[in-house]
Chains A and B, each alone.
Chain A
Amino acid sequence: MGATNFSNPDFLERVKKGDRAALPLLVEAVLPQLLRAGRGMGFSQEESEDLAHSVFAAFLEKPEQFQGRSHIRTYLFGIFYNLVAERYREKSKALEHDPIDEVMESKFDAHGSWRQPPADIEGQLHAKEIGQIIQECLKGLSQPQRVAFYLREHEEWETPEICKKLGITVTNLGVLLFRARNRLRECVEKKGLKKG
């Protein structure tokens, strides 16, 4: 399976012609990555599989649209991000109230100095269980926050790219990232304090 060269013109020709025998190879290679990205952005396993299905279905509908100029994985991820953006464009546009804003405000005095300075969480961040802690804490984020945070930190997209894709302003992206990061930081801090 690893031997399949997806850039091979013959293989791409088969895929483009809608050769169903080529499909399992392609699915096997790209599906785990799509699912991981979906889950990373806060979709459930089921929702992620739905999204992945839509990606391949859209691709199979018009395989000739794939020109072979980019890697097929990149092309499929392009469809994937469009679907994600479509689903969350409206949601991330309207910024709902988030109590984390008040939590952050309460940390500073009237002069804007730390009243409640950040606790030392370096220990937690380097602990073996940090993966588990983060997965747990990520659940406390809203979906738009997770999508924005994932694209920024995991995919390392730049601000204009994310804004364009999600159809949001730089200010709104800033709000999403501010809330996502502080929610996570607070959650990690709390989990550390509980352990003592």
Chain B
Amino acid sequence: MLNCSQVARSIASDEYRTGGLLYRMSIRLHLAMCRQCSRYFRQIRALGSVLREVGDEFPISQALAARDRLLARLSRKP
């Protein structure tokens, strides 16, 4: 039986994604029974979706300035 420390490590390191079927089932089983680990699991997953959702604010003026800098640099070297 896996303990909480092992389960937390497995979740955060993605081991549970790459492990075998039996291994993944034992993690699932632990998560179903352990409120603390399932909370941890949800939070780790949520951090990933937050990262996907929050775009890097990139104002158009900044983008245009960067474009001009890059084009100038590229044209310097024929």
Contacts and interface: CB of A to CB of B under 8 A. Distances in A.
Contact of B70 (A53, A153, A174): A53
Given A108-B3, A152-B14, 4 more contacts: A32-B63, A52-B66, A173-B14, A175-B13
B43 A125 contact: yes
Question: Which 7 pairs across A and B sit closest by C-beta, in order of nearness?
Answer: A112-B3, A174-B13, A131-B54, A112-B5, A153-B48, A108-B5, A178-B13
B50 A130 contact: yes
A39 B63 CA distance: 13
A137 to B, nearest CB: 9
30 contacts: A27-B67, A28-B67, A32-B63, A35-B63, A36-B56, A36-B58, A39-B56, A45-B66, A49-B70, A53-B73, A57-B74, A57-B77, A114-B4, A114-B36, A114-B37, A118-B43, A120-B39, A121-B43, A125-B50, A130-B54, A131-B50, A134-B51, A150-B51, A153-B47, A173-B14, A175-B13, A177-B14, A178-B9, A181-B44, A188-B47
A161 to B, nearest CB: 12
B13 A177 contact: yes
Interface in B27-77: 36-37, 39-40, 42-44, 46-48, 50-56, 58, 63, 66-67, 69-71, 73-75, 77
Contacts of B71: 23-24, 27
